[in-house]
Amino acid sequence: STLRVVDYTEGHLLNIDEPVTDAELKRLKENCDFILLRGSNYIHEEMDWGHFLSWIEALDMPVLCIGVGAQAEQERPIILPTEGRRVWQAIAERTPMIGVRGAFSAETLHRNGIHNLEIVGCPSIFRSLDRSMTLRHRPDGPKRVTFSLRREVGSTYAVDPIKFALTQKRMIAKLALVSDLFLSCHGEPEEKAFFFKAPRHMEAAAAKLVAEGWFDETTGQVMRDLYERRLYYVGAPDDYDLYAQQFDAALGYRVHAVLPAVAVGVPGVLFSYDTRSRELAETFDLPIYSPEEFERQTLKDAVDPSRFERFQSLFAERYDRMKNFIEKNGVRSRM
């Protein structure tokens, strides 16, 4: 999505795992005008920057950050290690403003001595490059629904990973009863085996999912049936754009499944399980629920058009803010 909104003629990979060399430094300086930091979850205590600081200092180019964010299981003070603070200071010295995804990320960088910050959200929601995007609400409530699952999660994404998995499976099973439900996955090898219908790999994947308790005695049969018939593997963002348009609503635990669905006009709902989902829902005024809150209401009520009124009314303004932010950093946009 970052590459979709930025206007550039060519891009060159900067491998931060490799040390600076004169030959590579010369090549990049001759062909590039700025460094683009792709992705978002870089602001946390465990981030390994490799040789990035050396590259930033050696190249001495503007650095463009669009929607970077702090990652934690819950909102709490994050004190970055010395290396992390040095990287962000070097970036801050080479850009008018660092674009962060929300208030928590801005507060975190501010606490660590970085102050030239602007909240811009995430480019995923603008990837259709449509300033006049309007959500399509089915009058009688959503019937066909896509749910983005997140099976593998650690303590930096959820306070209680075991409870996280159980509640997710329970919600999927309940949604399968009241909607025409499909699942999407985003990289897990076992889900990929099911999507490509590879018999030998499916057998091994199923055994692993049973052993790990994902296919359990309570929801296991429902989950396996969905895996075998209604599971979509996101191989490329452009493919997901086409997939998402088929649905009346997009729910789940992958912000980069919900936000791109919203970008093509599909009402999207996030679940509150880490700082990223809560922060983006707050930044864009999208509905967000804990599993318990979601289960206390009907699907129709959870995705009611009234819950998207503020998001819709401010979308064009926020689109312009992202466009202006990119251009204030001296880079052309495609927005």
Give the CA dihedral 109, 335, 240, 98, nearest 10 degrees: -10
Distances from the Cα of 326 to the Cα of 6, 17, 334, angstroms: 8, 27, 10
> What digits encode the pLDDT tens for the residues 1-49?
999 999 999 999 999 999 999 999 999 999 999 999 988 889 999 999 9
Residue with tokens 């009124």: 309
All domains of the chain in start order, with CATH: 2-129+316-328 (no CATH), 144-314 (3.40.50)
> Measuring CA to CA, which residue among 231, 203, 74, 209 is closest to residue 151?
209
210 vs 189: CA distance, rounded Å: 15
194 vs 223: CA distance, rounded Å: 12
129 vs 26: CA distance, rounded Å: 34
225 vs 217: CA distance, rounded Å: 14
Distance of CA 229 to the CA centre of its chain: 25
Whole-model pTM: value is: 0.91
280 vs 111: CA distance, rounded Å: 20
> What digits encode the pLDDT tens for the residues 137-159?
999 999 999 999 988 665 555 55
> What digits encode the pLDDT tens for the residues 84-106?
999 999 999 999 999 999 999 99
**What pairing do the DSSP bridges indicate for beta strands 35-37 and 288-289?**
unpaired
